[in-house]
Structure 1
């Protein structure tokens, strides 16, 4: 709390009303009962408590801390891939599908968690939801390390996935609170990178844990130690950004200082009980994914890309140990190609997104649209199948190990370009309900991340690495190549018909 605020608490109630707070009568707000309540809102466009007016340094600090949540939880999703042979022997796993289930069940939690964690962040604030859900993640992830049976491991993996999923929706909502449209591209680039970079780096770390720690359990304990550090940093540095919560706290202070219970925010003035508001928030992502065509199109393409990368991540150890005969920890180093691809793609995207947006906005007479975030999806969707094909046939014929890594690099760099475009588009198209929109899109993509690895064993066993991956490349062409045109051509028209995109329900 700033010292300036503390000084205001000692100011007389009438001075507080006049000098510190802008309170608009209901008449001015065009609300039906002008004598009953008065609005509490920002102290003008330059109010220092409005997250949009925070210093750039403070905004980036919050953005980076929020992004660590979206890194540490997905890190655990693929962390155990190199340890699967050890887990299979120690826990007596006798099925390939069960083996893949141990990896992918975590991502199923990512599909269900945002359905309520995203809406909760729109009721109780981003910071509280992120930190409480991270505690749940830490408890269940640590429990995974103590499991002695497969059912225990599957159940705790699922619950830890739910706990770790808050960053996928609440974190994106936090960026909406902080950044103006013209500045949001770079921040979204970092936020989009982290959930993909985590699964890429996890197997590299785990390969050396399995080699030198001699226990797969430390794959979970190491992540939990990282999660504790993230929780501590968040408690010290992360600030609440959601305007609804900030203004509600402001109204509560006024109640205590003035005794005037008529002072309220526009959200608190809604004639709904807490249970009604929670039900309204919980059902919103389901309604959005069921009724919003533009959200459905984005969710389908995101689901394919997300499922594809988890299929690659789950089968990578098998490629390097069975076909290239590398040791587990050496084969894990090939995940560097995944991480490097995501990093380079993110760097290109973050540097170009805001520039393209500003250029198109100037050409449009100074009026910006979410569709101005779309252009980079065209080269991204073009390169995705090219990367798959290179990876497919160099793996099939076991050519020099660098060539499959080149294919994976191209695939991952182009994937994150597409992800950045679509994530930023959703945030700007559904500003008020950005967390719910991200939660809705997360449903399909997390289900794909859960399902794709389950058929990977049969896919490569029946068709081989070449033709199996070529089928995926063909699907990438069918879904990806028309996507950019569809979003660019019809996005605005579909948004105009959406009450959520207009910020109203």
Structure 2
């Protein structure tokens, strides 16, 4: 999942040669007084927030951005009206913030529902279209996730140019159209192509939603919002197949797509009505535009109104170029991104491997009907939801506890403790599921193992995402784009080899191999980063020092 985050408050000191509208108003209305000087002094004080997450080209100079336009006496610099400006999304009411968070999470939920909803009905698709290869059957499911690797690289930069809300909702309409079209596909090629195109639009919430959360929430408030947002793309693939199992049993596979399209249309209406723009450069540009329209050029001596983000680098060509190159540069140079990116890719691939293999376990080994077999997906959902709810309450609490012990200074490493049980639960679940998926063992036992896999998955996801966001402040969007790219490729590729692996090795040996990999790669990671993470960050060109 690529999480773009932008800072929406600026430590922007106004030049005496480039006054703001408020300062000019004070000068024109009354002569300078001690009170006037005091107000101007207060306006130039840095705001009490320094969480800058996003691309350099979108940041004011005082926060690491590019140099501002050449200072001229006829230029207004339009910024927030102090740290309490109600237009700043970080100052919105909690009700409004959570409303936006819930809508973005709903967008993030419905797309992964489609990603795996067809899994229980692949037998029907294969029968109708004459598919004989198990790899092609798996491709029908996983091709949607392949688009997740490509879409964020383009949709993320577009959201920085045209705004979060606009791109998010237009991309969702694209997804809705192609997902609806999947229900009318007449052959395998059409279905695979339509699935890929739907996935491109469906990837938007994964790349833009994190930026919305960064716009809305301060670091010490962000844990619960990210916990909800992180749960959505993992819970969606669980609920989708569980519902589709009954749809496929009672109707046709085509209704899997039509049903999800109906739900998405409802979410789209909510988004149009209630999801407002949160991206600082767009909001300030709207404010500047309103000021330009209200000015009388014959009376005013100022001809130009700008925001701190109006730099030569804020062009779509530059933003797109950096968004395409920087994620891979980070992956090539940053050990933190390499280790966590590969582990997260493994965990995500494992999730989709489970999603495609669960019907085979419970229909093949236990002889359950497809509808009943689909209920076993709820074991994965219980693990995901239960662990997420606990972690949502603990993530910020742990961070504040260690920050207090460190003299009130927070570190990204304080996000890692919840990753420790996640790296333990994951291999436990793999071993338990693999070796108990036998007719002589009650079905509840592999379900318990599946729940452990779900718990381990969400704990790792939430911890890794918050750690990466806090580590790569200015470049968090690129770091998460790199992680999302490789995890999506894993989610696409793992289901393709799963049928052959389980056919050759069986569930016990197959899951044991995956469990050993989970131990070797995952278990040392939080401990190594806890001890050496700060040292690695100090040597990094991109990470927060």
The aligned residue for residue 42 of structure 1 is: 80
Change (3 A) 1:104 1:277: closer
Contact kept, 8 Å, 1:119 with 1:284, in 2: the verdict is no
Q: TM-score scaled to structure 1, two decimals?
A: 0.91
User: Are positions 1:471 and 2:508 aligned together?
Assistant: no
Contact kept, 8 Å, 2:143 with 2:492, in 1: the verdict is yes
Change (3 A) 1:188 1:116: same
2:270 to 230, 233, 247: 233
Q: What is the CA-CA distance between 1:32 and the residue it aligns to?
A: 8.0
The aligned residue for residue 204 of structure 1 is: 242
Q: Distance in 2 between matches of 1:211 and 1:498?
A: 54
Contact kept, 8 Å, 1:203 with 1:332, in 2: the verdict is yes
The aligned residue for residue 489 of structure 2 is: 447
SS in 2 for 1:41: coil
Written as runs of structure 1 = structure 2, the 5 A alignment for 1:38-437 is 38-212=76-250, 214-258=251-295, 260-270=302-312, 273-396=315-438, 398-437=440-479
Q: What is the CA-CA distance between 1:271 and the residue it aligns to?
A: 5.1
Q: What is the CA-CA distance between 1:115 and the residue it aligns to?
A: 1.1
The aligned residue for residue 18 of structure 1 is: 25
Contact kept, 8 Å, 2:113 with 2:240, in 1: the verdict is yes
Q: What is the CA-CA distance between 1:35 and the residue it aligns to?
A: 2.1
Change (3 A) 1:234 1:435: farther
Q: Distance in 1 between matches of 2:198 and 2:439?
A: 39
Change (3 A) 1:14 1:251: closer
Contact kept, 8 Å, 2:68 with 2:308, in 1: the verdict is no
The aligned residue for residue 5 of structure 1 is: none
Contact kept, 8 Å, 1:396 with 1:466, in 2: the verdict is no
Q: Distance in 1 between matches of 2:134 and 2:378?
A: 26
Q: Distance in 1 between matches of 2:24 and 2:497?
A: 64
Deviations 1:189-210 (CA, angstroms, capped at 9, x unpaired): 0000000000001111101111
Q: Distance in 2 between matches of 1:139 and 1:206?
A: 20
Q: Distance in 1 between matches of 2:143 and 2:83?
A: 46
Q: Distance in 1 between matches of 2:125 and 2:347?
A: 28
SS in 1 for 2:186: coil
Contact kept, 8 Å, 1:392 with 1:467, in 2: the verdict is yes
Q: TM-score scaled to structure 2, two decimals?
A: 0.85
Deviations 1:204-233 (CA, angstroms, capped at 9, x unpaired): 110111122x21000001111111111110
Contact kept, 8 Å, 2:154 with 2:320, in 1: the verdict is no
Change (3 A) 1:369 1:327: same
Contact kept, 8 Å, 2:111 with 2:203, in 1: the verdict is yes
SS in 1 for 2:78: strand
Deviations 1:244-289 (CA, angstroms, capped at 9, x unpaired): 2211222222222225443212221335644333333443333333
Q: What is the CA-CA distance between 1:397 and the residue it aligns to?
A: 5.6
Deviations 1:426-453 (CA, angstroms, capped at 9, x unpaired): 2223344433332221101010000000
Change (3 A) 1:273 1:52: closer
Q: Distance in 2 between matches of 1:15 and 1:311?
A: 58
Q: Distance in 1 between matches of 2:331 and 2:61?
A: 37
Q: Distance in 2 between matches of 1:466 and 1:337?
A: 19
Deviations 1:133-155 (CA, angstroms, capped at 9, x unpaired): 11111111111111111011111
Contact kept, 8 Å, 2:403 with 2:411, in 1: the verdict is yes
Structure 2 gaps, min length 5: 1-19, 27-38, 45-59
